[in-house]
Structure 1
Amino acid sequence: MQPETLKFNSNKVSKNHFKAWFGSFFYFYVMQLLSIQLFIYLIYKSLYEKSIASGAILVSLCTYQFYFAKRSETFIRFIKWLYFPSIFEDWTFVQEEPIQEKNSMIAFHPHCIFNIAFIWNNHINYQITPLASRIIYNVPFTGIFIRWLGISTVDAQNMKNKMKKGQNIGLLPGGFEEATLTSTQENRVYIKNRKGFIKYALQYGYTVYPSYGFGENKCYYTIEKFLSFRLLLNKLKLVGAYFISKYGWIPHHNFGIHTVVGKGIKLPQIVNPTQQDVNKYHEIYLEQLIELFNKYKKEYNQGDQILKIY
């Protein structure tokens, strides 16, 4: 089957350049940085200045976030309308075969800093439930936007609940460690000891689609020294990735981001898989991920790079 290719043409949306930059500011500053600063400001006003109004706003927003906020189709349409990916020179999506309607898992690499391609393509091309760390999900106020986008948590119980129903899900197996590994010079994935997603896929008979986003590692300057220490911070659930661009949190944009979803790996259903079963299919997954990278790396400007496995 020939790959299905959906390619973003920057020439067709040049008239929306201002909208795209506004969308980038909204996505990377309002949804991320400014919302956290608002939380800190309300904490300060409530505790230090004893402001009743600030305390009421703080309690109201936290109550809404943790008990009432949920996926909003209106908000998702708004994010689509902003179309912030049009700040990039090119934006490509390639799908080697259609994703089946049930029991599908998209495993995306690399995580990078904000996993832009994974989150965006979910709402345009995947139509799945993306799963993310509970830490990100529960960041005060930012978590409201995360919930509006329909993102759920990647913890074991939540995954099992969704997979029992055959729901299609997407995740980033490399997690915070893969974000910490982000390098503008190399393509890196953190996968050697990430096998839990394979175990669950075996238990529920899922098809796993390896996926790779070429170019996203160039979005930010990153600190690459002290890697062992920064990975240790990840084990303590602390941030280990340090980044900046010439626009602050808005990414560099003078290059393309190209997402490829490979052919699915149909796993047998094994209710109680052994470690040997998990290792076997994890190795198959890793081989196909490397093959996917090698197949498209020259087409998407990676030259003769090799995919570095951690």
Structure 2
Amino acid sequence: MPYFKQPKYLQSLMLLQWPLSYLAMFWILQPFSIYLLFTCLWPLPVLYFAWFFLDWKTPEKGGRRSAWVRKWCAWTHIRDYFPIMIQKTKDLSPEHNYLMGVHPHGLLTFGAFCNFCTEATGFSKIFPGITPHLATLSWFFKIPFVREYLMAKGVCSVSQPAIDYLLSHGPGNLVGIVVGGVGEALQSVPNTTTLILQKRKGFVRTALQHGAHLVPTFTFGETEVYDQVVFHKDSWMYKFQRRFRGIFGFYFCVFYGPPQLKEEKILTLAPFLFPSLLAVGEPLPLPKIEKPSQEMVEKYHALYMDALCKLFDQHKTQYGCSETQKLLFL
């Protein structure tokens, strides 16, 4: 049966519109705005770009989220494609601010996006009084139109000023940081539980400076939704990936999903239908220390890794991991 006639065609279309919407804003909407400058409608792009520069600091001051955008039915179709779920182990009190470590990065962070940037999994009902923000690369907010779309979903810049602003206001703010960053994307292959965390300690220092509680999370199934071609470190393709990251801030990954026509081995970019569950661990209270020592950072970093391992071990057998599988920190 052709893929577009299968029951999941609607979910697949909604999943496709997610990345295509950003491409459309960049390659269609922006050139169209420039075109309008040479027509009788020139005041429209002029007003927008004037406001764009006046509004430059908004992404670093909490953004401008839209409850309407976060509740679009498109996100529920994306949720149902895998499906994507969220599970809490402890309540998060709205009397505190939180810095949440999101693991693993995966290739497109479907789990983190659906849970923190939309209401598809009911985040506001599961954690009442908590306002989630998912941090991403700062340069995305320098792109006209794209920045508005990101902020509407509650995405914030991963820059230090943006995180400091959110954690110094509130209470009830939660900032999710994909700690492994884009480096973890190159290691995102099925059946792996390797995290880049051993030397990533800046988020702990930031949490201490604001007295924010640290919250570990792990998304089971995030690395299972795509197969990836992993290149040897001496290959020209790996060197290209490194150079690409140096220019754009993220890796050019070669990945693929399952064939949609079984009789024809044609691979696609549609993800595998693998359930994704984001387990939210118990918050780790931290004291507020304006200038934490390295020893203090090391102490709470070790406690955070222990809490993350505990969270993983508690849920791993329920979601496809073996009893002997462990997290590996690099």
TM-score above 0.5: yes
- In the alignment, what sits opposite 1:294? 313
Deviation of the 1:139 alpha carbon? 3.9
Instruction: Trace 1:197-276 onto structure 2 (pairs within 5 A).
Output: 197-226=203-232, 229=239, 230=241, 234=245, 238-246=249-257, 251-276=270-295
Q: 1:104 to 1:78 in 2, by over 3 A?
A: same
Decide which moves more: 265-274 or 230-239.
230-239
Unaligned runs of 5+ in 1: 1-14
Deviation of the 1:59 alpha carbon? 5.9
- In the alignment, what sits opposite 2:137? 133
Q: 1:55 to 1:291 in 2, by over 3 A?
A: farther
SS of 2:289 mapped into structure 1: coil
| CA–CA separation in structure 1 for the residues paired with 2:201 and 2:315 | 25
1:35 to 19, 25, 47: 25
**Residue identity opposite 2:326 in structure 1:** I
- In the alignment, what sits opposite 1:179? 185
Deviation of the 1:22 alpha carbon? 3.2
SS of 1:128 mapped into structure 2: strand
Deviation string for 1:171-221 (max 9, x for gaps)? 211222222332224122211221111011111111111000011112223
Decide which moves more: 32-41 or 162-171.
32-41
**Residue identity opposite 1:159 in structure 2:** I
2:197 to 176, 191, 203: 191
Deviation of the 1:250 alpha carbon? 5.5
Instruction: Trace 1:9-28 onto structure 2 (pairs within 5 A).
Output: 17-28=8-19
- In the alignment, what sits opposite 2:264? none
Deviation of the 1:301 alpha carbon? 0.4
Deviation of the 1:64 alpha carbon? 6.0
Unaligned runs of 5+ in 2: 1-5, 261-266
| CA–CA separation in structure 2 for the residues paired with 1:245 and 1:222 | 6
| CA–CA separation in structure 1 for the residues paired with 2:17 and 2:282 | 34
User: What is the percent sequence identity of the aligned residues?
Assistant: 19
Q: Is the 8 A contact 1:23 1:82 kept in 2?
A: no
The aligned length equals: 290
1:52 to 38, 41, 45: 38
Deviation string for 1:266-303 (max 9, x for gaps)? 11222210011111111111122122222222211022
Q: 1:300 to 1:137 in 2, by over 3 A?
A: farther
The answer to whether residue 89 in structure 2 is matched with residue 96 in structure 1 is: yes
Deviation of the 1:96 alpha carbon? 0.5
SS of 2:317 mapped into structure 1: coil
